[in-house]
Amino acid sequence: MRNKITQLLADIPHLTAKNKEEVEALRVQLLGKRGSITMLFDDFKQAPAEEKRELGQLLNQLKVKAAEQINRLREQVEIQSEAAASIDTSMPGQAAPLGTRHPLSIVRNEIIDIFKHLGYTVAEGPEVEDDYHVFGALNFPPEHPARDMQDTFFVTTDENPILLRTHTSSVQVRAMETQEPPVRIICPGRVFRNEAISARAHCIFHQVEGLYIDENVSFADLKQSILYFSREMFGAEAQIRLRPSYFPFTEPSAEVDVSCNICKGKGCNICKYTGWLEIMGAGMVDPNVLEASGIDSQKYTGFAFGMGIERIAMLKWQVKDLRHYFENDVRFLNQFKTAM
Ligand code: DAH
């Protein structure tokens, strides 16, 4: 009997229960009518008289300990079930924060997609280029102001200086050097100019250059391609107009405007009350440029165009300050969640 009591005394602190039913089962098992402790009280009656005092004390201690442990377990399972009941499983979950594509990437991808439908493929070239590919082969005369230190970041200043490309037109040259016509490429990339950073200018920005060379490519093809692009990018109502311009690498050259998608041509502060927004430069590839890269200008003609990705994105979303694109403020970036 003594052994049984000491065994139970040792076991009691280790008893556990997962729910109300298990607590009740433990109570019945120990203190119920036929419970092991209750039975010990029956045995106690037959114990020798000289041990009764000590056994009685032990037995009472056991009963108290068992009752305490059962109460403790009962409280524990009650707290647990209250906590479980207070969880509202119909509440919306906490969404894990999700990244977004950068607005400039969204627009770049959109431009690529539009021209892919016209059969263009993506071409890339180095950001650190030589003077020849950025200027020389594109018919820039040696004294052209664009080569000036004030515009261009130079890496070296030898005979054919190494510099950071100031436009993606350099990729045209690389493509013409390596591909036989027909050439139909779109060249997205980063460009660099030594400009003071402001709401309208940055020293690093992005351009997309387009080039199409084949037999019988005409100015009408250029106009139609740009019109198609503008309608895909700015909506089916978009109109374009071409203003005569000058670039060393195209002849004739044009500046392309799209009808203002905000006021629909009526005039607003975005289009400065003209109804038109400038979106790109374009023109027929100058025969000198074709010849410089080994393309027969008697047989082939081509057109080229170049646009700023920041500018297209600003017009599309009415972003008024270019610097937003580079600051990576999530309050700005999160606004483009649905545009991906
Ligand atoms: N490279 C010109 C610039 O950075 C943009 C441009 C104008 C590209 C006319 C062209 C073009 O291909 O035909 O301002």
Residue-level pLDDT at 272? 86
Unique residue bearing structure tokens 């195209």: 250
Short-list 322, 313, 237, 250, CA closest to 281: 250
Short-list 185, 256, 188, CA closest to 219: 256
Q: For residue range 159-196, list pLDDT tens digits in order.
A: 889 999 999 999 999 999 999 999 999 999 999 999 99
> Which residue lies with its CA nearest to atom 13 of ligand 1?
282
Residue 320 burial (CB count, 10 A): 11
Count helices and strands (H / E) in the chain: 12, 9
Q: For residue range 272-293, list pLDDT tens digits in order.
A: 899 999 999 999 999 999 999 9
- Nearest atom in ligand 1 to the alpha carbon of residue 307 is 5
C-alpha 250 – ligand 1 centre gap (Å): 9
Residue 236 burial (CB count, 10 A): 6
In this structure, are residues 292 and 302 in contact, taking their beta carbons and an 8 Å threshold? no
C-alpha 195 – ligand 1 centre gap (Å): 18
Higher per-residue pLDDT: 202 or 55: 202
Banded model confidence at residue 340, pLDDT cuts 50, 70, 90: low
> Which of the listed residues 249, 301, 307, 310 should we mutate to test ligand 1's pocket, taking the one with most ligand atoms within 8 A of CB?
249
> Which of the listed residues 138, 185, 222, 305 should we mutate to test ligand 1's pocket, taking the one with most ligand atoms within 8 A of CB?
305
In this structure, are residues 21 and 81 in contact, taking their beta carbons and an 8 Å threshold? no
C-alpha 255 – ligand 1 centre gap (Å): 9
What does DSSP assign to residue 196?
-
Q: For residue range 250-280, list pLDDT tens digits in order.
A: 999 999 999 998 888 788 887 889 999 999 9
Pocket of ligand 1 (CB under 6 A): 167, 169, 209, 247, 250, 281-283, 304-306
Contacts of 335 (CB under 8 A, 6+ apart): 317
Strands (E), 179-275: 183-192, 204-214, 240-247, 250-259
Q: For residue range 32-64, list pLDDT tens digits in order.
A: 889 889 988 888 888 888 888 888 888 899 889
Distance CA 273, CA 305 (A): 26
Residue 142: asked if its preceding bond is cis (omega within 30°), the reply is no
> Which of the listed residues 167, 205, 256 should we mutate to test ligand 1's pocket, taking the one with most ligand atoms within 8 A of CB?
167
Residue-level pLDDT at 125? 97
C-alpha 307 – ligand 1 centre gap (Å): 7
Flag whether pLDDT at 26 surpasses 70: yes
In this structure, are residues 64 and 72 in contact, taking their beta carbons and an 8 Å threshold? no
- Nearest atom in ligand 1 to the alpha carbon of residue 207 is 4
Query: Residue 56, SS3?
Result: helix
Q: For residue range 68-103, list pLDDT tens digits in order.
A: 989 999 998 888 888 888 888 888 888 888 888 999
- Nearest atom in ligand 1 to the alpha carbon of residue 306 is 8
Global confidence as pTM: 0.74
> Which residue lies with its CA nearest to atom 2 of ligand 1?
306
**Tokens (6 digits) for 269:** 């502060």
Distance CA 155, CA 168 (A): 18
**Parallel, antiparallel or unpaired: strands 204-214 and 240-247:** unpaired
